[in-house]
Amino acid sequence: GAVVSQHPSRVICKSGTSVKIECRSLDFQATTMFWYRQFPKQSLMLMATSNEGSKATYEQGVEKDKFLINHASLTLSTLTVTSAHPEDSSFYICSARFYDEQFFGPGTRLTVL
Amino acid sequence: QQQVKQSPQSLIVQKGGISIINCAYENTAFDYFPWYQQFPGKGPALLIAIRPDVSEKKEGRFTISFNKSAKQFSLHIMDSQPGDSATYFCAASRGSTLGRLYFGRGTQLTVWP
């Protein structure tokens, strides 16, 4: 199957700093990637849809200026959490669309101290 | 509003038994119904998926049953094994929305040896 990677897998940062998470489709090109957030024992919450070469579409309630998404190439999308605070601590997961299926990355655990 | 409703929230099955997870949806425009398996600290992995033109799809020990008129679909895991212990998510999407997935709340499956 199609492989999606995320980097880093785990990050700990101080409050007020910015963190960048990369999502790569390793063996296919993805014009559309998705970013999710998942709290413990809960379902995935879609944050935004990222289309290559255009601005991301954010879900209602997601702060665009806080969660910056860039989809600069057909194999890479990045999520930058700006001025992170403890409430931003979560598990962030990306997925990439391949035909009509979505393949997920392994996730990034963000802890903001 | 929850677009896809999933039950039960948790399920305990003995090794060798059958695990059954049910999902229901309202939007008749949905045309793709995947199931994902997620282990703790990992991203979801596509398990099996079905489209409305068939009523059942089987892959190994995993079977999706689909009832279009009732707007319901279910996952059956035959001969359940301890290694199947994970959280399972059903989802639905429409081809017209670039693959945006609407997830159920998830089912935590525990298979006792």
pLDDT digits (tens, 9 = 90+) for B42-92: 999 999 999 999 999 999 999 999 999 999 999 999 999 999 999 999 999
pLDDT at B100: 86
Distance CA B23, CA B105 (A): 10
Q: Which pLDDT score, from 0 to 100, does residue A31 have?
A: 87
Q: How far is CA A86 from CA A14, A35, A89, A90, in A?
A: 9, 19, 5, 9
CA-based end-to-end distance of chain B: 38
For A29, phi then psi, to 5°, come to -100, 135
Q: How high is the pLDDT of residue A52?
A: 86
> By percentage, how much of chain B surpasses pLDDT 70?
97
Which of B45, B46, B98 is nearest residue A97 as measured by Cβ atoms? B98
Residue in A43, A100, A103 closest to B32 by CB: A100
Which of B10, B93, B96, B100 to probe by mutation at the A interface, max A CB count within 10 Å? B100
Best mutation target, B32, B42, B50, B102, to test chain A (most A CBs within 10 A): B42
State residue B48 phi and psi, 5-degree precision: -165, 150
In terms of Cα–Cα distance, which of A42, A107, A94, A101 is closest to B32? A101
